[in-house]
């Protein structure tokens, strides 16, 4: 299969490129979309386009608000329109769990997206336009992953890993988070590229992740001794803080949110192994 990936300088695009190139049934090209050079390309050669380019991990300000919509929404729509005109049969869009605008709780098939950030709103508006393009010759797959982690990943996992190496004590809290190891995401994208299906998809690790268990795994790998205690739990539960919610609150996709893909079809790396691969040589 001939696949074109955008956002090859980003974490997901770069790792996906390497992953697919190791599969004998994929021929992979990448293209940057921040300038207008991609508009001159003939895309008819490709069986699928994976649009992973976008803005993320950037503090939102009044000054950069328009940039979210220019890149995450307008550019996505423009690329999909060209792909459809050129005869590309399948467009895969990397969206986000952020379209739901939920910090804690359970997201299921009945949950209505209500994004609160410019990032989430721009992604959802792109989704809505993409869904109107679907027809018999143009399949659109929208992927809404939870927090993605893996070796050299940015975001909350990297912050947590850094904390583990510095703190001798950590809260012992039983929470649940939907997360997705990068290689499991790559395998999911590979499977959906081979069998194109239009719709929304919510890939996640086979098991929910407890923050305390993750810290325990990371500390074990680095031979770091940490005392886990419940002494801080009452304070954490009382304080209404977005940072604490992301770290210790529960936010999950229901197990049956996707009926078209089973978790065991793409979860090729276990949780423990994923932490080892993420932390190696750090």
Asked if the structure places residue 141 within a domain, the reply is yes
Examine residue 235 and state whether it is found in any structural domain, yes or no.
no
Domain that holds residue 66: 2-154+179-205+253-269
At 228, phi and psi to the nearest 5?
-100, 125
Does 124 map to a domain?
yes
Model confidence at 53: pLDDT above 70: yes
Question: Any residues with CB less than 8 A from the CB of 238 and at least 6 apart, and which?
Answer: none
Domain annotation covers residue 215: no
Whole-number Å distance between alpha carbons of 134 and 131: 6
Alpha-carbon gap, residue 75 to 78, rounded angstroms: 5
Which tokens belong to 124? 């959802």
Give the pLDDT of residue 280.
Answer: 87
DSSP for 124-166, written as a single string: HHHHHHHHTT-BTTBEEEEE---EEE-TT--SHHHHHHHHHHH
Tokens of 219: 């500390």
Would 188 be classed as within a structural domain? yes
Structural domain includes residue 213: no
In-domain check, residue 223:
no
34 Cβ partners below 8 Å, 6+ apart? 53, 71
H-helix or E-strand spanning residue 170: strand 169-171
Q: What is the pLDDT of residues 246-265, one digit of tens each?
A: 889 999 999 999 877 666 78
Dihedrals phi, psi of 134, to nearest 5 degrees: -65, 135
* Percent of the chain residues past pLDDT 70, beyond the cut: 98
> Could you read off the pLDDT of 99-158 as tens digits, one per residue?
999 999 999 999 999 999 999 999 999 999 999 999 999 999 999 999 999 999 988 899
Largest CA distance in the chain: 61
Cβ-contact 192, 201 below 8 angstroms: yes
Q: Which helix (H) or strand (E) holds 3?
A: strand 2-6
Average pLDDT over residues 265-279: 95
Q: How confident is the model at residue 282 (pLDDT cuts 50, 70, 90)?
A: low
Give a yes or no: residue 66 inside a domain.
yes
Number of separate domains in the chain: 1
- Tally of CB atoms within 10 A around 175: 20
Supply the CATH number for residue 69's domain: 3.40.50.720
């Amino acid at each position: 299969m001939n696949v074109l990936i955008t956002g090859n300088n980003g974490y997901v695009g770069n790792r996906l490129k390497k992953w697919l190139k190791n599969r004998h049934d994929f021929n992979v090209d990448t293209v940057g979309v921040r300038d207008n050079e991609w508009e001159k390309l003939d895309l008819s050669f490709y069986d699928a386009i994976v649009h992973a380019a976008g803005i993320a991990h950037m503090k939102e300000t009044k000054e950069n608000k328009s940039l979210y919509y220019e890149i995450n929404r307008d550019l996505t729509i423009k690329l999909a329109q060209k792909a459809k005109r050129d005869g590309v049969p399948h467009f895969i869009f990397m969206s986000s769990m952020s379209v739901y605008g939920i910090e804690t709780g359970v997201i299921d098939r009945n949950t209505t997206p209500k994004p609160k950030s410019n990032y989430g709103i721009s992604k959802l508006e792109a989704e809505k336009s993409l869904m109107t393009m679907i027809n018999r010759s143009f399949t659109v797959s929208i992927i809404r992953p939870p927090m993605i982690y893996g070796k050299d990943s940015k975001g909350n996992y990297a912050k947590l890993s850094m904390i583990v190496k510095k703190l001798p004590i950590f809260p012992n809290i039983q929470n649940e988070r939907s997360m997705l190891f990068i290689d499991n995401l790559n395998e999911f994208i590979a499977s959906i590229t081979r069998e194109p299906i239009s719709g929304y998809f919510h890939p996640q690790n086979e098991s929910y992740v407890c923050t305390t268990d993750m810290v325990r795994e990371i500390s074990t790998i680095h031979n770091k001794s940490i005392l886990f205690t419940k002494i801080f739990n009452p304070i954490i539960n009382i304080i209404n803080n977005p940072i604490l919610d992301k770290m210790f609150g529960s936010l999950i996709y229901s197990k049956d949110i996707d009926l078209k893909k089973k978790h065991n079809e793409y979860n090729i790396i276990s949780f423990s192994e994923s932490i080892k691969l993420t932390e190696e040589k750090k």
